[in-house]
Amino acid sequence: MPDRDPNIVNSALSRQVTEKGITVDVQIYRLEHEPGWTLEVVNQSGTSTVWDTEFSTDEEASSAFKIALDEEGIEAFIDNANVIPFPKRG
């Protein structure tokens, strides 16, 4: 029997959030046969921020996003100074 890629289970708590004119996609998901939930936030440029830890529940992942939003603001998810360019070789 050929190997199949595992199915991804998307949480109903996944959503778009807009504040101060900035929109991000909050994606909460897990692999079908795995218990841990992943939290990923994708900004308008397609850059994603993924939490290092897995969450026991999708509600826990959603709460972690809300805490980050409250503490750091939605600006934490845009591409400003967070991008470090590689040095150019000349």
Whole-model pTM: value is 0.82
The answer to whether position 1 is within a domain reads: no
Q: Do the domain assignments include residue 3?
A: no
Q: What is the pLDDT of residues 13-72, one digit of tens each?
A: 999 999 999 999 999 999 999 999 999 999 999 999 999 999 999 999 999 999 999 999
80 or 42, which is more confident? Answer: 42
- What are the φ/ψ torsions at residue 30 (nearest 5 degrees)? -150, 160
Domain enclosing residue 63, as ranges: 8-74
Looking at the domain assignment, is residue 86 inside a domain?
A: no
Q: Could you report how far apart the first and last alpha carbons of the chain are, in Å?
A: 52
Count of domains in the chain?
Answer: 1
Q: Are 11 and 58 in contact (CB under 8 A)?
A: yes
Looking at the domain assignment, is residue 33 inside a domain?
A: yes
37 falls within a domain: yes
In a domain, 14, yes or no: yes
Q: According to the model, what pLDDT value does residue 82 have?
A: 47
